[in-house]
């Protein structure tokens, strides 16, 4: 079991309200990702759930039980920190065994569990080493090992991959996803990387300035962004947001169009523009096109390779079925 | 060419380093040699370096006249006592300042340090009066208290810098792993903080052992530690160089031995935080 409910949770530091009021339901076994820009309150929200910060008002329920005033140790949650937070003076074995030792488990049982976790995470050969003798990826695995041995109600991940290099991050992302699926344990994962959010989550919670902007599955957010913030945040490259005549003619204040939904032509189209930068990735070509009357350059994504370069004139046409319209308040129409 | 320049520079700096080192060490060496000379040889011109009649007479006289062991025990009690009491006060203080700082923490730390900028003699009159009125004059308890207070800012500062280096996330991880406050301290905090506490302890023992202003002024006989004993040899009857040297050697020997064995800890404690 591992359902978590937040009821009107607020948090203030001094006079500053960082979480003005959050209601959220996380179901058992779900992989939920909190995503948002730096300083949006996602880590604070996670720490409130963990019990490392006290809520200013509101309630946190874990498995239906009020955990608002409970110390972290009693919430049956495991956390993986950005800095790994391993105990530097203990071996890998002792690090993983620590939560079990704290729970007063029998040493023979501890050994069995630690070896099981080490087997899953490919750490069997490193059990005698200290954290200082491990690579970043191995340290992160030890931190995950320490989290899984206790069989908690839920895992809390606080930007666990941001200290790793890009290639390793992709690997670890897959490993964490697979592990979560096989264990079926509720997980809350905090990241500022929307690709991590899109690829890992069952449910994404987009946060901005301590407020939940939208909650939904990755494809829900991609196809039906509730407002300009979510539209701009989810998707890579970012959605093009166009104001002015093009938007007004469609009855909106802002029109959004994703790079993959703009058709490129060298002869005709709705918008004529000049190529600023052409990024040839082999699989795709990204073009940044300056269009007269539209302030920011429009980004378009064309599958395969297109022979265009800086200064070329091109035409772009938005797919009418896939444009997003937003009103003056930034909400989707 | 560059290689030659580097080697030359290295040579110059090595020579300068040795010269400074020997200059600093020379007074200790000279005191050591003088302590084995007779009073006559000690003031002879030109002074003899190694070729004189070596004698242990000064050490025997000092021990007879001054009861060395009583002073030594006073020194041990006062330095260990003030250090233990200091750590007892400073560990929780440094801990709370490092892990739960408030807006005023920095100011408090600066204020504490600023008390070290005041010359000790500035509080001589009030402290003497307090000691006289409370019956603490010439007692070990009085010296333990006053030396603890004198060194407290340094202990708090050293521990604070040390604790600051322990990442808060590790303590939070222990809390998440189900450790109670007691277990968090025993299994995580203490093992990580021991090197810092140990070097602070060593440095403070040395500072307290060598303290000579308050120990000389606030004692007459009963509680007088080794520093006060040395001072007795610079008497109005004139200086007895060999006996003074023997007393000095006896006073510094224990701390020198302790310092030698713990130098690794001490250097780490003193340079901690300087290089990350």
Backbone angles phi, psi at A85, to 5 degrees: 50, 45
Contact residues on chain B for A150, CB-CB shorter than 8 A? 177-178
The number of distinct structural domains making up chain B is 1
pLDDT for the residue B189 = 80
| Domains of chain A and CATH, by start | 4-231 (3.40.50.300), 237-326 (2.40.50.140)
User: CB-based contact (8 Å) between A258 and chain B?
Assistant: no
d(CA A51, CA A9): 13
User: CB-based contact (8 Å) between A271 and chain B?
Assistant: no
Structural domain contains residue B38: no
CB pair distance less than 8 Å for A71 and B175: yes
Residuewise pLDDT in 10s, chain A (333 residues): 789 999 999 999 888 899 999 999 999 999 999 999 988 999 999 999 999 999 999 999 999 999 999 999 889 999 999 888 999 999 999 999 999 999 999 999 999 999 999 998 889 999 999 998 998 889 989 999 999 998 899 999 999 988 888 888 888 899 899 989 999 999 999 999 989 999 999 999 999 988 999 999 999 999 999 999 999 999 888 999 998 888 888 889 999 999 999 999 999 988 999 999 999 999 999 999 999 888 889 999 999 998 888 999 999 999 989 999 999 998 998
Alpha helices in chain A (DSSP H): 42-50, 92-102, 107-120, 136-148, 166-183, 194-200, 218-223, 228-233, 245-248
Structural domain contains residue B20: no
Instruction: Kindly provide the residue ranges of all beta strands, DSSP E only, lying in chain A, ordered along the sequence.
Output: 4-13, 16-26, 31-35, 57-62, 65-66, 77-80, 154-158, 186-191, 203-208, 211-216, 240-243, 254-257, 262-265, 271-280, 284-291, 298-303, 313-318, 323-326
List the structure tokens of B200.
Answer: 């602070």
Pairs of residues, one from chain A and one from chain B, whose beta carbons lie less than 8 Å apart = 59
- Shortest CA distance from B190: residue in chain A: A89
d(CA B183, CA B180): 5
Structural domain contains residue B170: yes
The owner of tokens 């991050």 is: A169
User: CB-based contact (8 Å) between A151 and chain B?
Assistant: no
Q: Measure the CA angle with vertex A8, ends B170 and A18; round to 5°.
A: 55
pLDDT for the residue B268 = 65
pLDDT for the residue B275 = 37
Structural domain contains residue B113: yes
Which residues fall within 8 angstroms of residue B30, CB to CB, at 6 or more apart? none
Which candidate from B169, B177, B191 shows the least CB-CB separation from A102?
B177
CB pair distance less than 8 Å for B177 and A146: yes
User: CB-based contact (8 Å) between B177 and chain A?
Assistant: yes
DSSP H or E segment with residue B253: helix B241-261
CB pair distance less than 8 Å for B170 and A89: no
pLDDT for the residue A208 = 92
Residuewise pLDDT in 10s, chain B (276 residues): 555 667 888 899 999 999 999 999 999 999 999 999 888 888 878 887 777 788 888 888 888 887 888 888 999 999 999 999 999 899 888 888 988 888 899 999 999 989 888 888 888 899 999 999 999 999 999 999 999 999 999 999 998 988 888 888 899 999 999 988 788 878 888 788 888 888 888 889 989 998 888 888 888 888 888 888 888 777 665 677 888 888 888 888 888 888 888 777 777 655 554 433
Which candidate from A52, A79, A87 shows the least CB-CB separation from B188?
A87
Structural domain contains residue B7: no
Structural domain contains residue B129: yes
B99 touches B265 (CB < 8 A): no
pLDDT for the residue A223 = 93
d(CA B216, CA B218): 6
CB pair distance less than 8 Å for B176 and A79: yes
B40 touches B57 (CB < 8 A): no
* Residue numbers of the domain that contains B229: 59-271
Q: How large is the ipTM?
A: 0.84
List the structure tokens of A212.
Answer: 């939940």
CB neighbourhood size of B105 (10 A):
14
List the structure tokens of A90.
Answer: 């203990």
Structural domain contains residue B214: yes
User: CB-based contact (8 Å) between B166 and chain A?
Assistant: no
Contact residues on chain B for A102, CB-CB shorter than 8 A? 177-179, 183
User: CB-based contact (8 Å) between A150 and chain B?
Assistant: yes
CATH number of the domain within which B124 lies: 1.10.3720.10
Structural domain contains residue B10: no
pLDDT for the residue B271 = 57
d(CA A123, CA A142): 8
Closest-CA distance of chain B to residue A19, Å: 21
When scoring A50, A98, A150 by the number of chain B Cβ atoms within 10 A, the one with the most, hence best to mutate, is A98
User: CB-based contact (8 Å) between B99 and chain A?
Assistant: no
Bridge-based pairing state of the strands A154-158 and A254-257: unpaired
Which candidate from B167, B179, B192 shows the least CB-CB separation from A73?
B179
Which candidate from B180, B188, B192 shows the least CB-CB separation from A73?
B180
């Amino acid at each position: 079991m591992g359902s978590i409910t937040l009821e009107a949770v607020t948090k203030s530091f001094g006079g500053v309200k960082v979480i003005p009021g959050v209601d959220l339901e996380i179901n058992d076994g779900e992989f939920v990702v909190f995503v948002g820009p730096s300083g949006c309150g996602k880590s604070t929200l996670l720490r409130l759930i963990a019990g490392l910060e006290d809520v200013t008002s509101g309630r946190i329920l874990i498995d239906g039980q009020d955990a608002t005033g409970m110390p972290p140790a009693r919430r049956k949650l495991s956390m993986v920190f950005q800095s790994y937070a391993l105990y530097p003076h203990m071996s890998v074995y002792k690090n993983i065994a620590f939560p079990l030792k704290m729970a007063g488990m029998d040493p023979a049982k501890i050994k069995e569990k630690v070896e099981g976790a080490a087997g899953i995470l490919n750490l069997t050969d490193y059990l005698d080493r200290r954290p200082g003798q491990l690579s970043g990826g191995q340290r992160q695995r030890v931190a995950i090992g320490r989290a899984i041995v206790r069989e908690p109600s839920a895992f809390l991940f606080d930007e666990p991959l941001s200290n790793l290099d890009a290639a390793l991050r992709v690997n670890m992302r897959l490993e964490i996803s697979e592990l979560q699926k096989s264990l079926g344990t509720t997980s809350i994962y905090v990241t500022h990387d929307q690709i991590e959010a899109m690829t890992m989550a069952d449910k994404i919670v987009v946060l901005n300035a301590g407020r939940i902007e939208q909650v939904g599955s990755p494809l829900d957010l991609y196809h039906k962004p509730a407002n300009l913030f979510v539209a701009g945040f989810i998707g890579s490259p970012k959605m093009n947001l166009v104001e002015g005549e093009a938007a007004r003619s469609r009855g909106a204040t802002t029109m959004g169009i994703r790079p993959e939904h703009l058709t490129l032509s060298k002869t005709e189209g709705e918008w004529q523009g000049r190529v600023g930068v052409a990024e040839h990735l082999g699989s795709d070509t990204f073009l940044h096109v300056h269009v007269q009357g539209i302030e920011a350059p429009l980004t378009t994504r064309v599958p395969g390779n297109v022979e265009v370069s800086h200064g070329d004139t091109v035409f772009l046409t938005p797919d009418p079925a896939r444009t997003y319209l937003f009103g003056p308040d930034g909400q989707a129409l | 060419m560059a290689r030659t320049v580097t080697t030359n520079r290295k040579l110059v700096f090595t020579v300068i380093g040795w010269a400074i080192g020997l200059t600093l060490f020379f007074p200790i060496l000279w005191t050591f040699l003088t302590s084995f000379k007779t009073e006559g040889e000690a003031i002879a011109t030109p002074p003899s370096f190694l070729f004189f009649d070596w004698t242990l007479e000064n050490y025997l006289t000092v021990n007879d006249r001054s009861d060395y062991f009583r002073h030594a025990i006073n020194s041990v009690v006062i330095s260990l006592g003030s250090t233990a009491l200091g750590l007892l006060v400073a560990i929780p203080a440094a801990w709370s300042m490092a892990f739960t700082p408030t807006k005023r923490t920095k100011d408090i730390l600066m204020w504490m340090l600023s008390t070290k900028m005041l010359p000790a003699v500035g509080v001589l009159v009030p402290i003497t009066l307090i000691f006289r009125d409370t019956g603490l004059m010439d007692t070990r308890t009085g010296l333990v208290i006053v030396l603890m207070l004198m060194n407290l800012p340094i202990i708090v500062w050293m521990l604070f810098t040390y604790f600051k280096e322990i990442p808060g996330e590790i303590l939070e991880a222990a809390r998440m792993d189900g450790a109670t406050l007691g277990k968090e301290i025993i299994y995580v905090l203490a093992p990580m903080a021991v090197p810092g506490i140990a070097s602070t302890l060593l440095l403070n023992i040395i500072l307290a052992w060598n303290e000579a202003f308050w120990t000389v002024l606030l004692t007459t006989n009963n509680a007088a530690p080794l520093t006060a004993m040395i001072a007795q040899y610079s008497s109005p009857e004139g200086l007895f160089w060999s006996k003074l040297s023997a007393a000095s050697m006896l006073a510094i020997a224990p701390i020198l031995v302790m310092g030698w064995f713990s130098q690794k800890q001490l250097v780490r404690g003193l340079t901690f935080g300087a290089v990350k």
